[in-house]
Chains A and B, each alone.
Chain A
Amino acid sequence: MGAFLIKDIMLLLRDRSELLILLAMPFLLIAILGFSLRGIFSGDLEALEMDIALVSQGDEAQAVASLQNEIEEMGLPPGETQALKQAAESASPQTMLVSLLEDESLSELVTIERMSRAEAQESLDEETVDAVITLPQGFTEDSLRNMLFGESKSGELELLVADLSSPQTDVLKSILNEFVRTVNFEASISRLSGQQSATEVFGGIETITARQPITSFQYYTIGMAVMFVLFVGSTIAGQANLEQKQMVFDRIRLSNRPPLLYLSSKAIAAAAIVSVQLTLLFGLSALLFQAFAADSWAFWSGIAIISIVLALSVGCLAALMVAITLRLESDAVPAIFSGGVISLMAFVGGSFMPLDGMPEMLRAIGNWTPNGAALSAYFSWLLEPELGQLTGPLLRIAVVAVIFLLLALAIFPRKGGAA
């Protein structure tokens, strides 16, 4: 077994064009796609810097004061009156919006400047600001009312942007949506604040935490990695074909080693190559593009688990391709696979772009490709490092791998006898 493995690895190391395809190409693509498509992924923060003008048309202090007066006149017990007045002051939506935009995670991206409506419009025209957020007359009061008394009319924000289709706009919109959601959420909490069940509701906050977004470098590191590991299948099957053509395969048969040893060493060689490939791609991407936080042991161990499962499945795929190649005595299989099937699999697996908008059917197929399933495993780990999330995709990979392996065993020409 060792002899086979060493030989296969040596052959690969001497084959410069294969090495280029397996290692240099994906890395190049990660670099190109990662840089050029920076900004289409919500996590690409640095590309999203923006200057925002904040226009407040109402008088917030006055709105709060008049609301507090109203509370006074409602004739509630003194304790509750006090609590509501407190809430009205601290839950001021404008303050909340500003603190949201100036939040640690956004502060590097967003600069806010308060302006009058006219100033803001001018700056937008001159493109010194990217967007104008306007809190119209009555916004504060409306939202506070909504918050405190559950009155139906909620405040409406106005967003003016220079470029409607820019990624910045998308991000800003999603931030504002988040804000509106928060305001509504705060509203329900404020309303409940006097009651016993408050803590229970607080328990729900966690489910609302926004997910960490994915950057283009993360996306393409994973996309290209799961795509290019497939090429290992072609490489290994190509080697087997060459061995058959050059008749070294006959020599191997003459050595009377169990034929399955040959097949399994091909599978293991493929898995080993894939492991190296993934280590290099993730490692380089983390080091050169800062695509991943390089220091989290827990994070990397999850990536390693997914990678190992993926590597083993490619091993099974390689075994299947080797079996077919030897049976057909032709290199058609590796050629067709690397010439088209891989691109197809990469596409339905979501290596090139997210499949969100694609037909259900396509996504279902993609989910069952080893690369597609691995991709979703990586992403879900990236978004939420929870082992439970991985079982689904990893199980799919395993099922497909076992099918590959069984097919390989069925097809492999067992030339133990004088076949």
Chain B
Amino acid sequence: MLETQQLTKKFKDTIAVDDVSLVLRQGESVGLLGPNGAGKSTAIAMISTLMKPSSGDVKLNGKSVLKKPGEMRRVLGVVPQKIALYEELSAYENLKFFGRLYGLSGNELEQRIDYVLELVGLADRKKELVKNYSGGMQRRVNLAAAMMHEPEVLIMDEPTVGIDPQSRNHLLETIRKLNQDEGMTVLYTSHYMEEVEKLCDRVYIMDHGKVIAEGTKEELKAILSDQETVLIDFDQNYPELFTKLSEIEGVQQATAEEHSLKLIIPKGTRLLAALFHEAERYGAQVVNVNVQTPTLEDVFLRLTGRKLRD
């Protein structure tokens, strides 16, 4: 129902979004994954009609929204990356204001406010000023505000940044419910792999303004289907040994992390003999060896040579 065609945004010296074509089908939950500065927020600003693209188009049900953003704005619920609320007003007052902007009033308005507050689990604290909420609660109101006008598509820009695990789980659960139980179409932006893996049917991976991979989770992981991830835990850190191991023939990617080393290798690589041999030489003790199927994180790593989060 919603798509972008060769969407591009150039700023003075950066191309923030470069030739991005996305599709969002009715009822789908789609992830937009990318590290800091990948261009996710810029892409979302253009999709939600807040920013004019340098070139390319955004279409809703086949019609361009650039000239006539009205229908898109009615259909979309946007949860911005920043908390877009009046800090000096309470959650209730914020929601009431935004509800009235959408023409709600009276009973209908009150019921809608009750509904969205219930949805994000803040019904009992609605009278408190937004500035006195925790970061997690603010994020939840941020979502509630986007839900006031019963949108059909929910676009979220990193809605879980900087929040406590409890709020985060609550938020993710809410989104999952909206998508699966109420059939809401969701575009979920994040640089947390786990969230996208948990929530989304399909994923676009962005880097440097470009979409570098897309597909269902399975399709993406299939990129690594002939590969496996080996996680080796040691008793302590051995920088030289880690370097040595990453140079073993066939190793495509190596990431060291304190006491452990993660290697991506083609399936069937005879790694273990070499591993124990080298460990022996450096006097290192192997605590655990774990062969995993790849995660999206590994896919990203493989595609860009970098980790999603530094």
Interface residues of A (CB under 8 A from B): 2-3, 6-7, 10-11, 14-15, 246-248, 250-257, 416-419
Contacts and interface: CB of A to CB of B under 8 A. Distances in A.
A417 B83 contact: no
A256 B73 contact: yes
Interface in B41-56: 46, 48-53
B98 interface: yes
A246 B85 contact: yes
A418 B52 contact: yes
Given A7-B97, A10-B89, A417-B67, A253 B50 contact: yes
Most central of B49, B58, B66, B145 by chain A CB within 10 Å: B49
The residue in B48, B50, B58 that gathers the most chain A C-beta atoms within 10 A of its C-beta is: B50
B69 A418 contact: yes
Interface of B: 46, 48-53, 58, 65-67, 69-70, 73-74, 76, 78, 80, 82-89, 93, 97-98, 100-102, 129, 145, 149
A15 B69 CA distance: 35
Contacts of B102: 255
A14 B97 CA distance: 16
Given A255-B98, A418-B51, A248 B88 contact: no
A75 B155 CA distance: 112
B89 A14 contact: yes
A246 B65 contact: no
Contacts of A250: 50, 78, 80, 84
Contacts of A10: 88-89, 93
Given A254-B78, A256-B73, A418-B67, 10 more contacts: A11-B88, A14-B129, A246-B86, A247-B82, A248-B84, A251-B80, A254-B48, A417-B67, A418-B53, A418-B69
Consensus secondary structure, chain B interface:
loop
A397 B89 CA distance: 35
Given A3-B100, A418-B51, A256 B83 contact: no
A255 B89 contact: no
B100 A2 contact: yes
A416 B82 CA distance: 22
A373 to B, nearest CB: 34
B69 A255 contact: no
A254 B73 contact: yes
- Of the candidates B67, B70, B80, the one having the most CB atoms from chain A within 10 angstroms of its own CB is B80
A255 B145 CA distance: 11
A256 B97 contact: no
B145 A251 contact: yes
A3 B97 contact: yes
A247 B80 contact: yes
Contacts of A419: 52
Nearest to B97: A7
A256 B74 contact: yes
B220 to A, nearest CB: 31
21 contacts: A3-B101, A7-B89, A7-B97, A11-B88, A246-B85, A246-B86, A247-B82, A248-B85, A250-B80, A251-B84, A254-B73, A254-B76, A255-B73, A255-B98, A255-B101, A256-B73, A417-B67, A417-B69, A418-B50, A418-B66, A419-B52
Contacts of B70: 256
B116 to A, nearest CB: 14
Nearest to B96: A3
A301 to B, nearest CB: 35
A246 B82 contact: yes
Contacts of B69: 256, 416-418
A10 B93 CA distance: 10
B58 to A, nearest CB: 8
A14 to B, nearest CB: 4
Nearest to B85: A248
A2 B66 CA distance: 29
A246 B69 CA distance: 22
B16 to A, nearest CB: 16
Contacts of A256: 69-70, 73-74
Contacts of A248: 84-86
A15 B131 CA distance: 13
Nearest to A250: B50
Contacts of B51: 418
Nearest to B53: A418
A256 B101 CA distance: 8
Contact of A15 (B49, B53, B88, B93): B88
